Amino acid sequence: MKRILLTTLLMAGIVAGATAQKGKLNQAKSSYDNYNAMTSLKQTEEAQKSLNEAKAVIEEVIAHEKTMNEPEAYLYKSLIYSAIANDSTMQDAASEPVQVAYDALAKAKELNKENSVKEEDMKIAEENIYVASYNKGINAYNNQSFDTALKFFKVATEVKPTDTTLYLNTGVTAEKVGDTALAIASYSKLAELKYKDPAIYAVLANLYFSQKQEEEALGALQKGLELFPGNKDLMITELNYYLQRGEAAKVIDKIAASAQADPGNKSLWFALGVAYNEIDSTSAAEEAYAKALEIDPNYYDANINMGVIAIDNANKIVQEANKIPQDKAQEYEAKIAEYKEALKGALTYLEKAYSSGQRDRNLLSTMREIYVKLGDTARAEELTKELETL
């Protein structure tokens, strides 16, 4: 009888111990709920007190052998620590609340074999961790703590692996710290997700080029051009690669074929003009830029490049004038008149670019210099004043 009674008493003690720890878990949950309630009522002091209580109690629950494998305990540890991470008044309550919350959630998922914790509750914890890690990453970046920013972006990405903004932020930050491999991995993920910004593919290609990974770089450009046919930045990046290899004709034929297939695409004609410029085929470049301007007379880049070509032609004329003997004044004056007409032709394009509203110092300085040479001091003075405001 004594033995049976003793066994019964021991069993009663075990049950009571487990029940007590369940009660502790409920206490942690209640304190956490009270924190949310007090926060919504803007009772900061009471909210802090409840969250500190929840933190202390959940640590007891996690440490106890009877509840240390309860998925719900880890879920609430994640919720509590992510609340600490998201509450600016609680930053001293835990040194690494985001990582603690993330690890606790991972443990909750690992232990949740019988689905005793609902998926929607897990999602709440995930969202809280995401918000905390994203915001901390942005704050660290703005404070130029780039390594810290990367740490938080990594956590946020693991919680939300399809958030393209995070891969973009990670890639940019990785470039800041010189981690080319991580930058490539981040931009490659954006490419995999078919990110809707052609600049990403050009950046990715240039990073590959910097690592002598030419095949991967060309693959990135090709993928970008498939998504954004005729994008001039991608085509020019590709053009520069072939120019460096002495294979300009290869890419010029490709761009020309694309322009012929899509004649209404101004970017294709512009890229073709740039390609011809690079091999000093000026007349062909002018024809290509002219086609781009037929499609869009206000095309800034094409107007600028046509203006540059006109200025180059004017400079050739003045060089010819300078070779004329001094005793042939009439011939010299005729050549100078031709030079000024060429400058006026350049201004036609440059003024068109100016009318777009873009204010580039090089453009304004070039225009001012031309107006001075043409004797239009009033317009030159206007441009001088405008330059002073930039």
Contact 31, 54 (CB under 8 A): yes
- At 1 the pLDDT is 33
Q: What is the pLDDT of residues 307-347, one digit of tens each?
A: 999 999 999 999 999 999 989 999 999 999 999 999 999 99
Contact 364, 387 (CB under 8 A): yes
- At 10 the pLDDT is 43
Which candidate, 49, 132, 139, places its Cα nearest to that of 87?
132
Q: What is the DSSP letter of 357?
A: T
Give the integer Cα–Cα distance in Å for 51 and 59. Answer: 12
Contact 264, 295 (CB under 8 A): yes
Distances (CA, A) of 143 to 130, 149, 178: 20, 9, 17
Most distant CA atoms of the chain, gap in Å: 139
Query: What SS3 state is found at 315?
Result: helix
- At 359 the pLDDT is 85
How many CA atoms within 13 Å lie on the side-chain side of 5? 2
- At 3 the pLDDT is 37
- At 8 the pLDDT is 39
Give the integer Cα–Cα distance in Å for 36 and 41. Answer: 9
Name every residue whose Cβ is closer than 8 Å to that of residue 329 and which is 6 or more positions away in sequence.
none
- At 21 the pLDDT is 53
- At 247 the pLDDT is 84
Query: What SS3 state is found at 269?
Result: helix
- At 96 the pLDDT is 85
Place of tokens 């180059």: 312
* Radius of gyration, alpha carbons of the chain: 34
DSSP string computed for 21-77: HHHHHHHHHHHHHHHHHHHHTT-HHHHHHHHHHHHHHHHHHHHSTTTTT-HHHHHHH
From first to last of its 390 residues, what are the pLDDT tens digits of the chain?
333 344 334 444 444 444 545 678 899 888 898 888 988 888 889 988 999 999 999 999 999 888 889 999 999 999 999 999 998 877 654 458 999 999 999 999 999 988 888 989 999 999 999 999 999 999 999 999 999 999 999 999 999 999 999 999 999 999 999 999 999 999 999 999 989 999 999 999 999 999 999 999 999 999 999 999 878 889 888 888 888 888 888 788 888 988 898 899 998 899 899 989 888 899 999 999 999 999 999 999 999 999 999 999 999 999 999 999 989 999 999 999 999 999 999 999 999 999 998 889 999 999 999 999 999 999 999 999 999 998
pTM of this structure: 0.68
Which candidate, 360, 366, 359, 326, places its Cα nearest to that of 343?
366
* Paired tokens of 363: 């453009």
- At 239 the pLDDT is 84
Contact 166, 201 (CB under 8 A): no
Helix axes 232-244, 248-261, angle to 10 degrees: 160
* Paired tokens of 124: 């709440």
Query: What SS3 state is found at 82?
Result: helix
Give the integer Cα–Cα distance in Å for 104 and 82. Answer: 10
* Paired tokens of 211: 């690592």
